[in-house]
Amino acid sequence: MIFPGEEGSSGLYGSSKEPFMVPIAMPLIAGPSTLATLLVLGKSHADATGKLFGALLLAWFISALIMYLSPLLYKLLREKGLSALERLMGMLLLMMSVQMFIDGVRGLIHTF
């Protein structure tokens, strides 16, 4: 995804013409980790429950707006723009996973 093979970048569609998707957006927006974070923040900042709920609704609205406008974004970015965006998101996913791994190793070291 980040470094294409010798045949070049497959772009948005691979050899089977199926869209390439990384399902990380939904768990980060509305998954268990988000709900657990909201519960912890709601418990520690009981006076800001309305603000937390508003922030959640705002994040959902922005995500829904981006998904709703995806055909327009496809027309604006075209194949090369989407391929570049795909690589950028792949790099961000890689950075997030490496950071989570490092945090896990640090937590494991500190328990000993």
The pLDDT tens digits of the residues spanning 71-105 come to: 998 899 998 988 888 888 888 888 988 998 999 89
Write out the residue range of the structural domain in which residue 61 sits. Answer: 49-111
Domain presence at residue 2: no
Gap between the Cα atoms of 106 and 79, Å rounded = 40
Domain presence at residue 99: yes
Give the predicted TM-score (pTM) of the model.
0.54
Is pLDDT at 36 greater than 70 in this prediction? Answer: yes
Gap between the Cα atoms of 101 and 45, Å rounded = 29
Domain presence at residue 24: no
Domain presence at residue 66: yes
Domain presence at residue 103: yes
Strand-pairing partners, residue 50, are: none
Q: Phi and psi at residue 82, in whole multiples of 5°?
A: -70, -35
Confidence of residue 27 (pLDDT cuts 50, 70, 90): low
Number of compact structural domains in the chain: 1
Domain presence at residue 40: no
Cα–Cα–Cα angle for 27, 84, 64, rounded to 5 degrees: 35
